Chains A and B, each alone.
Chain A
């Protein structure tokens, strides 16, 4: 079946460090891929998305590339800030009629 596996947390980094949160997926066909972010006490917000192979989604300094050959959509940021502390969810959706499938979430904490 369709599923998303993402890096377990928590991940703790110092400010200005390089961030990678791994995400791999299993899906039939060609799903769309998403990263959502949840700040403390809030709902989820879309961070970025990619709808076909080799697409790169980017927003707020975060990037992720849709890699069909490795079925991956890893989230990266070159220099993290304290304000990036949140929970990050990788997700996929494989047809217009389907629900979105979420990974289990990765908690990121950034030390000043």
Chain B
């Protein structure tokens, strides 16, 4: 069973607020990822990290930022939330060593910006 956690599970917030979505894993994985999932279900990679102090932008441009100060923690921050940020955000992690390793996903945070 995957040990990857996301908080909060649901968040409704007003425009202009700063928010941080938390993601933690207890598996010691080096690689971590953030995906944005639109209502049509498609997953878009917005950030990833290969280890501490490593962060990269994903395939979909995002106004959010991430940090990786500790192996187990990969928070995502929106400095000023807008209605266009309303979406489901999924965090994932995987081991480094080979291509056979799958990603483990957290339960997601459903964000609504009003």
Give A contacts to B, CB under 8 Å: 31-32, 34, 36, 38, 41-46, 49, 51, 87, 89, 93-96, 98-100, 102, 104-105, 107
Q: Which residues of A contact B12 (CB under 8 A)?
A: none
Q: Which residues of A contact B103 (CB under 8 A)?
A: 44, 46, 100
Taking a contact as CB atoms under 8 Å apart, the answer to whether A31 and B102 are in contact is no
Choose among B92, B97, B100 the residue that contacts A32 (Cβ–Cβ < 8 A).
Answer: B100
- Say yes or no: is B43 at the interface (Cβ < 8 Å to chain A): yes
Choose among B2, B41, B102 the residue that contacts A104 (Cβ–Cβ < 8 A).
Answer: B41
Measured CB to CB, the closest approach of chain B to A7, in angstroms, equals 13
Interface residues of B in 28-48 (CB under 8 A from A): 33, 40-43, 45, 48
Measured CB to CB, the closest approach of chain B to A55, in angstroms, equals 10
Q: A43-B106, A44-B105 are in contact. Are A107 and B41 (CB under 8 A)?
A: yes
Which of B40, B43, B98, B106 has the most chain A CB atoms closer than 10 A to its own CB? Answer: B43
Taking a contact as CB atoms under 8 Å apart, the answer to whether A45 and B105 are in contact is yes
Choose among B48, B99, B104 the residue that contacts A95 (Cβ–Cβ < 8 A).
Answer: B99
Interface residues in B, total, Cβ within 8 A: 26
Measured CB to CB, the closest approach of chain B to A87, in angstroms, equals 5
- Say yes or no: is B76 at the interface (Cβ < 8 Å to chain A): no
Taking a contact as CB atoms under 8 Å apart, the answer to whether A102 and B43 are in contact is yes
Interface residues of B in 1-41 (CB under 8 A from A): 2, 6, 33, 40-41
Show 5 residue pairs from A and B whose CB-CB distance is below 8 angstroms, ordered by the A residue. Answer: A45-B105, A46-B103, A51-B99, A99-B45, A99-B58
